[in-house]
Amino acid sequence: MAHEKRSRYAVAAFTALLFLIAIDCHAQEGHQGHSCTVDAAGSVVFPKGEDGHNFGNGWGLQAGGGFAVTRVPKSHGASLFITANYMHEQLIATAAALAAAKTANPSQLANATSAHGVFSAVSLDPTVRFALDTRLSFYGSGGFGWFRRSVGFQGANPATLLESSGVSLDRLASNSGAFDLGGGANFGLTKGGGLMLFAEMRVYHGTAINKGTTLVPLSFGIRW
């Protein structure tokens, strides 16, 4: 579908932008990290709030990047980064939620066999990173951004489908703002900067039309 192609192009453009940010960045000699940062990770996501009843746990990915606005410490101390983060998650609807949707709209969904949700967010997050030594650091961040929730159905009556493949109804999508808050730990693979492994937990809470959606992604990935 056209909106799925636009989403893929947006992800590709965002990822390219993150790596362009890092072109002029370098590890400061003997320091805990870089003055700029990029990262990518896979995630397991847990839905909460009203959508905690509509969807089971899912999976996804995240990517981010930014720059330090204070000096990165050599081995111990705090630094402030401004980061931009992208989140994309997919979850399968519960049997109860699918049954409720079919009851509410039998003309289109009577033969639907499954449903799934796709959630995306782009946020701007000030991040405080605290280095314990040349390898280990902890961080916390929070901010606000754009949030999209969409739901698609499989196996519905082909006569009602908007796709000629007869596989999926057009997604029912809603856009809003969202708050996010999270934290995690970095572990450097080498001393004095370079690649780091990281683990992170974050909470996204939609506003307005998406106020019933709260997602908790647990992510594991690599950061530079």
Domain ranges of the chain: 2-223
What does each of the 224 residues of the chain score in pLDDT, given as a tens digit? 444 555 555 555 555 555 444 444 644 444 456 788 999 999 999 999 999 999 999 999 999 999 999 888 777 889 999 999 999 999 999 999 999 988 888 877 888 889 999 999 999 999 999 999 888 999 999 999 999 999 988 876 544 444 434 444 445 789 999 999 999 999 998 776 679 999 999 999 999 999 999 999 999 999 99
Q: 190, 86, 182: which is closest to 142 by C-alpha? A: 182
DSSP 8-state code for residue 23: T
What are the start-end ranges of the E strands in the chain? 36-49, 58-68, 77-92, 114-131, 136-154, 172-188, 196-206, 213-223
Q: What is the pTM of this model?
A: 0.80
pLDDT at site 23: 47
Q: How far apart are CA 152 and CA 172, in angstroms?
A: 7
pLDDT at site 159: 44
Q: Name every residue whose Cβ is closer than 8 Å to that of residue 209 and which is 6 or more positions away in sequence.
A: 174, 175, 176
pLDDT at site 39: 96
- Alpha helices by DSSP H, 135-178: none
Q: How far apart are CA 80 and CA 67, in angstroms?
A: 9
pLDDT at site 130: 94
pLDDT at site 14: 53
Q: How far apart are CA 94 and CA 114, in angstroms?
A: 9
Q: What single string gives the DSSP state of each residue in 111-132?
A: T--EEEEEEEEEEEEEEEEEES
For the domain with range 2-223, which CATH number is right: 3.30.1360.30, 3.90.1150.10, 2.60.40.420, 2.40.160.20?
2.40.160.20
pLDDT at site 111: 82
Q: Name every residue whose Cβ is closer than 8 Å to that of residue 58 and which is 6 or more positions away in sequence.
A: 44, 45, 47, 89, 90, 91, 92, 117
Half-sphere exposure of 145 (CA within 13 A, CB side): 20
pLDDT at site 75: 73
Q: 124, 119, 141: which is closest to 49 by C-alpha? A: 119
- Let me know: does 205 contact 183? Beta carbons within 8 Å: no
- Let me know: does 36 contact 66? Beta carbons within 8 Å: yes
pLDDT at site 212: 94
Q: Rg of the chain's alpha carbons, rounded to an integer?
A: 20
- Let me know: does 152 contact 4? Beta carbons within 8 Å: no
